[in-house]
Structure 1
Amino acid sequence: MSVSVPAIISPSEPLAVRQADADQELVATWVARHESPHTVGNYRRQARRFLTFTERPLREVRVCDVQAFLATLSAKAPATRANATAALKSLLSFGYDIGYLPLNVGKMVKAPAVKNTLAERIMEEADATRMIAIEPDPRNRALLTLTYGAGLRASEVCALRWRDLSARDGAGQVTAFGKGGKTRVILLSANTWRTVAAISGDAGPDAPVFRSVKGGALSRVQLHRIVKAAAARAGLSPDISAHWLRHAHASHSLDRGAPIHLVQATLGHASVATTGRYTHARPSDSSARYLGI
């Protein structure tokens, strides 16, 4: 592994100060390994809260310290506790793997079970298509169409440049640079391609596909506002976000008979097991239907 072990920065400082500096360097190195701004911000907050709570160097942290910190979150939702647990386990494992920590105390801590709420975040196909169809703004309609039609993540949509889209076989394709630094090419339907190509105008290859009013690339915050406004216009749940359209793509394509490995490749899932969650969230049959009640 190429990651260096954080050093004690200033020998002239008291030991506690030097150790705190080294802990902060470890946290900074650990956080820098993640590309998602959301993950980086979340992990940095979790580490800061934990270090403030324990008031001791990471090298002296024990299992009971981690458990005591997580106990302070007992009133929080299971997903919040699971998120904090995952962050701490990742930090402590990283510190141990690079030789900075003598023990991986996080290995002994288990995250709480979290209810799978995926089924609650899947739209009906008719709702998704209506939300897109009644969007009056051409740019926003193209944005919604491509997000749903290609199953893109919010960050992938916002990062698109016109060089990432090209015509192909009477329709088109989009090249997405996604999670984990992976690139994938997604073939688009003819309708999706026409809708997106119609807003290109005289844009150059390096211009953002979806521009903000200031001329730069649309931000994820702006994307979510557009999606929520479209959902409200269609009389749908205020909880709907851009990621719901990605969920909808997976679920609806599987409902229509798309092979699960193809959906996996389109969405960029690392494992087919991840894609398989959609079949469990919306099963096509159940033994309950075979009973006489």
Structure 2
Amino acid sequence: MEQNTQPLVKHGNNFDLITLWLHDKSPNSRRGYYLDIIQFTRLIGDIPLDQITLNDLQAFSNALGAKGYAVATISRKLAAVKSLLTFSYRVRVIPNNVGSLIRLPKGKDRLAERILSQSQVRAMIDLTSKLRDKTLIRFLYATGARVSEVCALKWRDVQPIRNGRAQVSLLGKGNKTRVVVFSTEMWELLQQLRGADGLNEPVFKSLQKGHLDPSRVNRIVREAAERAGIEGKVSPHWLRHSHASHSLERGAPLQLVKQSLGHSHIAMTERYLHARPDESSALYLGV
């Protein structure tokens, strides 16, 4: 029987396909992916996706390298292009998935450099005087939430449970909701911040009383790290990394940490076990 090769979507040009591909992704992912794809399309020009060749992908990779992008950034941008081409292939717009032919470059894994010590996290919290910012930093660390998840929170997403503890419902990647339980102390700090705010108001407000922008959260965390004397471009994601590493060090089950962080695969969570090992063969050399 002859296979149906009719496209599964209506489209007029590359922009239509890009829009369809981005449709179900989170707002944060949409912004990042869109910028990466626009950078690629500027290089190849107005070429339909079904005419893209391996040469085009390699030329994009080489151009990024020539501009001095880090290996991790090049890998992310190529992954975005590969994802778009895979989507286009699955909806039968392109006959072959040329994206499957290019390998993503791998650089040095710098996860260990982005894990703060518990004393550094404590210093960031203690040296931050503004209640909103102090609560925000502590909440990012306590829950391991992504910055986009925290920025979207309303008070209806946070509620008390048994034993004085509380929980938060986070909408993560792939529009998947997960629930993270946190301590009584964190709940009490949130209640100080809330005041008389209603259920539909943002947990973390901007000066204009709307939701905080991710860029503002980045500045708050970076400034807190500078006050604590921490080197490096500390971001909210460092607090997520620290949450994972510290909870595993304190005996949290790997599967529980995976669920709390919203990882799709256990291998993503296992990276934290290898980033901060307790032993190595070097300790047996006596030098």
Same fold, judged at TM 0.5 (above): yes
Change (3 A) 1:134 1:208: same
2:35 is equivalent to residue 41 of structure 1? no
Note the C-alpha offset of 1:133.
1.7
SS of the equivalent of 2:193 reads coil
2:50 is equivalent to residue 59 of structure 1? yes
Change (3 A) 1:175 1:33: closer
CA–CA distance in 2 between the matches of 1:286 and 1:103?
A: 46
Q: Which moved more, 1:208-217 or 1:71-80?
A: 71-80
Contact 2:158/2:166 (8 A) holds in 1: yes
- Residues 210-265 of structure 1: per-residue CA shift (max 9 Å, x gap): 11111111111111111112112211225111111111111111111111111111
Contact 2:166/2:182 (8 A) holds in 1: yes
Note the C-alpha offset of 1:114.
2.3
Change (3 A) 1:106 1:188: same
Find 1:203's aligned residue among 193, 197, 205.
197
**Which amino acid is 1:227 matched to?**
V
**Greater Rg, structure 1 or structure 2?**
1
Contact 1:6/1:100 (8 A) holds in 2: no
2:82 is equivalent to residue 92 of structure 1? no
- Residues 272-291 of structure 1: per-residue CA shift (max 9 Å, x gap): 11111111100122121122
CA–CA distance in 2 between the matches of 1:103 and 1:202?
A: 57
Map 1:189-268 → 2, pairs under 5 A: 189-268=183-262
CA–CA distance in 2 between the matches of 1:49 and 1:208?
A: 34
Note the C-alpha offset of 1:64.
2.0
5+ residue gaps, structure 1? 9-21
Note the C-alpha offset of 1:121.
0.4
Change (3 A) 1:101 1:268: same
5+ residue gaps, structure 2? 1-6
CA–CA distance in 2 between the matches of 1:133 and 1:188?
A: 19
2:18 is equivalent to residue 27 of structure 1? yes
Q: Which moved more, 1:142-151 or 1:65-74?
A: 65-74
CA–CA distance in 2 between the matches of 1:207 and 1:159?
A: 10
2:71 is equivalent to residue 78 of structure 1? yes
**Which amino acid is 1:91 matched to?**
L
CA–CA distance in 2 between the matches of 1:7 and 1:156?
A: 32
Contact 1:132/1:144 (8 A) holds in 2: yes
**Which amino acid is 2:194 matched to?**
S
Counting matched residue pairs gives: 277
Note the C-alpha offset of 1:74.
2.7
Note the C-alpha offset of 1:180.
1.3
Change (3 A) 1:133 1:63: same
SS of the equivalent of 1:113 reads coil
CA–CA distance in 2 between the matches of 1:34 and 1:201?
A: 34
Map 1:37-186 → 2, pairs under 5 A: 37=28, 39-55=29-45, 56-75=47-66, 76-168=69-161, 169-186=163-180
CA–CA distance in 1 between the matches of 2:15 and 2:60?
A: 19
Note the C-alpha offset of 1:69.
2.7
CA–CA distance in 2 between the matches of 1:80 and 1:161?
A: 32
Match in the other structure for 2:279:
285
- Residues 134-182 of structure 1: per-residue CA shift (max 9 Å, x gap): 2111121111111111111111111111111111221211111112111
